Structure 1
């Protein structure tokens, strides 16, 4: 279906002038702030969909790499109109320093369903999401409106909302807005002659950068424009890919000013739901793959976005929504594997898996010594990780002295990496918790043990 540029009415169309809308503009408000942390938006899915939730989820990170879900990984807002679910939530800091979230109007994985709308929320400081509404982006039949991204077009004095659509081909459309309530007519924004999906767009140093998926070969690419105008982009990077299938590119400028990260979301649940590259120069065709040891996405998270936040915003959002009451243990030498229980056995398995709560633990004061720690299962409360015959098991606490001792460990600096953790047995003080053949047990270890053995006994305590 051909897309033509014509008068377009969605009930009310925004005028071209931003100030005419009455919106106060302070271009310096956001740029003047010092960002000390990051906030991520996402929805959740797991392999059997027992943990799938199509509401707005939030996570925070100090380093931009390792993430803590907020609100116990429950949604902070859920759409009540349209498909009554969202995917691909994109958060953007507006010119006045407040936030807007736009998201795909779709519940679940029936991608044959097409909506003409996007969900929209406003937020002043991330402690609440208000003004829920849907905005109609086009009037095409059987054309989807997926994976929106937002940027400030300084030349136009308006915000651009770019999204994936399938009119004459799989391409990107753009609508301009001053208030995220009324939008201009849709225009073709980028259509390079092959099918594309999932744009993320950032403006830096007067250059507009766009990363996207080439559906013909499954790789992610970067394009750039000196204006950010429709049909003005030139692809300048080689294809990037990790894993079996990748999409959902999202681009993050580091708070420390040292470069950029590019996240890619796996299309199907494989060993890890996200992959990551880094560069010191976004304008160069030079991206390095980050080791999965270096980053931990939020539990069951899927396609979203990341924004830098201030210390006050970080404290406010944590105080409002709360950090997780549970931890996960990530293997050092199998960094896409997490400690979980299965039929009372304690082992490491590649994430994601279901039941996903098998990997969630409450790390509590040691049952035999409060200076140590014990691990209580989240989904089998009252049962703890303990060793028996040197093999780790999940058993109910019988409150015996033997059980309490078997279930108590001292957390130490990681034997293979001091910034990670190892866990020394309370009642076998030269023995450490480690995996062997993917099963957890305790074995005698020290700093002089082999590198492989020390890796087996080293874990990241994460959420």
Structure 2
């Protein structure tokens, strides 16, 4: 009788998809020269590198041909869309798409900041999809020489970022670049996810004087903003960057790069107010640098494993 009940329960879980949750972590290593790396997990804590931790896609665009900070999301039609940092000092970002995370479209260079003579860079681009409007928003951080001088510092090469964005419905036609977020401090590495009826932004306070280097949250009713003032820091005294989120039931996990410690960290929360450090519970491939997490199916994992 117990075996029968367990069998029925397993079938119900499998049918509902709960038993088939698989997650892929897209990341880079070193300076991003060799391209896209992938790892997988079934529980969201323990991650195993795919393809012996070798690259799935070699970068080909921009003067530097890097593939740093890869962000992958699944589109409304099931297609995977990826953007990434192509260079330390270029005015555009990279874009490619795939049906299986193995075979990719021709890589494109999107010149999103070409119109700004003083733009110094385009770092850590990400994509978020708004199902209500059928719109994808691509956003990144840029320093524009001469802007926001009230938060400028001579340290760290004088970088002083704000967040900018474009939107698209087909990755062919894009809206003009616009300012997404000006929190009153140097801000980079934003990631935005749907949280209930609102959008949650996790971003890094990049302030160097006095030192912050922590993660904070902001919220908006609309994907394109306006976003609320940044909340208090949710990470500790270490320096954190490159956040990516994962929701497991009612629990939120935020992974991030403890880059000065040369290791990864994670925090968890059930209410987005009290956060617990769970860094000792996670396991990731050696040398991983930050990226993003996307959900896939067991069938897609089987293809990747082969």
- Give TM-score, length-normalised by structure 1: 0.55
What's the CA shift for 1:180?
A: 2.2
Unaligned stretches of 5+ residues in structure 2 = 1-15, 149-160
CA contact (8 A) 1:236 1:285 kept: no
Q: Pick which of 218-227 and 53-62 moved more.
A: 53-62
Which one of the candidate residues 37, 40, 45 is aligned to 1:65? 45
2:285 to 284, 298, 301: 298
**2:177 aligned residue (186, 199, 209):** 186
Q: Is the 8 A contact 2:33 2:65 kept in 1?
A: no
Pair 235,259 (structure 1): closer, same or farther in 2 beyond 3 Å: farther
Whole-angstrom CA distance in 2 between matches of 1:286 and 1:201 = 19
- Asked whether the equivalents of residues 183 and 229 of structure 2 are also in contact (C-alpha less than 8 Å), the reply is no
2:54 corresponds to 1:74: yes
Q: Does 1:274 align with 2:264?
A: yes
**Which one of the candidate residues 24, 40, 47 is aligned to 2:25?**
40
CA distance in 2, matches of 1:236, 1:132: 34
In the TM superposition, what is the alpha-carbon distance from 1:178 to its structure 2 partner? 1.6
Higher RCO, Cα 8 Å, sep 6+: 2
Specify the SS of the correspondent of 2:106: strand
What CA distance in whole angstroms lies between the structure 2 residues aligned with 1:263 and 1:195? 21
- Residue 277 of structure 1 and its aligned partner are, at CA, apart by 0.3
Q: Equivalent residues in 2 for 1:408-447 (5 A)?
A: none
Is 1:195 equivalent to 2:186 in the alignment? yes
Q: CA deviation at 1:239?
A: 0.4
- When the two chains are superposed, the root-mean-square deviation of aligned CA atoms in Å is 2.0
Deviation for aligned residue 1:228: 2.0
Give the TM-score normalised by the residue count of structure 2: 0.82
2:69 paired residue number: 88
Q: Does the 8 A contact of 1:198 with 1:247 survive in 2? A: yes
Secondary structure of the residue aligned to 1:131 is: coil
TM-fit CA distance, 1:53: 4.1
The residue number in structure 2 matching 1:366 is none
Matched, 1:163 2:140: yes
Unaligned ranges ≥5, structure 1: 1-31, 320-463
Change (3 A) 1:189 1:274: same
**Cross-structure match for 2:251:** 259
SS at match of 2:301: helix
* 1:193–1:237 Cα change, 3 Å: closer
Offset at residue 164 of structure 1 (A): 0.7
Whole-angstrom distance in 1 between the partners of 2:222 and 2:235: 28
Residue 229 (structure 2) pairs with residue 229 (structure 1): no
Tell me how far 1:60 sits from its aligned partner. Answer: 0.8
- In the superposition, relative to structure 1, how do residues 291 and 247 fare at CA in structure 2: closer, same or farther (>3 Å)? closer
8 Å contact from structure 2 (residues 257, 263) kept in 1: yes
Query: Relative to structure 1, is the Cα distance of residues 291 and 90 closer, same or farther in structure 2, using a 3 angstrom cutoff?
Result: closer
Kindly indicate whether the alpha-carbon contact (under 8 Å) linking 1:57 and 1:76 is maintained by their aligned counterparts in 2: yes
User: Do the aligned residues in 2 keep the contact of 1:73 with 1:299 (CA within 8 Å)?
Assistant: no
Q: Distance in 1 between matches of 2:132 and 2:279?
A: 39
Counterpart of 2:13 in structure 1 is none
Q: Distance in 1 between matches of 2:109 and 2:246?
A: 26
Are residue 289 (structure 1) and residue 280 (structure 2) matched?
no
Whole-Å separation in 2 of the counterparts to 1:192 and 1:243: 21
CA distance 1:291–1:135, shift in 2 (3 Å): closer
Distance 1:316 1:235, change over 3 A: farther
Q: Indicate conservation of the 8 Å contact 1:249/1:264, yes or no.
A: yes
Number of residue pairs the alignment of both structures matches: 269
Whether the 8 Å contact between 2:79 and 2:99 is mirrored in structure 1 is yes
After TM superposition, give the deviation of residue 150 of structure 1 in Å.
0.9
Distance 2:288 2:238 in 1: 18
Deviates more, 1:221-230 or 1:138-147: 138-147
Tell me, in whole angstroms, the C-alpha distance in 2 between the residues paired with 1:273 and 1:44: 12
Which residue of structure 2 aligns with residue 245 of structure 1? 239
Q: Tell me by how many angstroms 1:291 deviates.
A: 4.0
Structure number with bigger Rg: 1
Q: Secondary structure at the match of 1:39?
A: strand
**TM-aligned CA deviation for residue 154 of structure 1:** 3.8
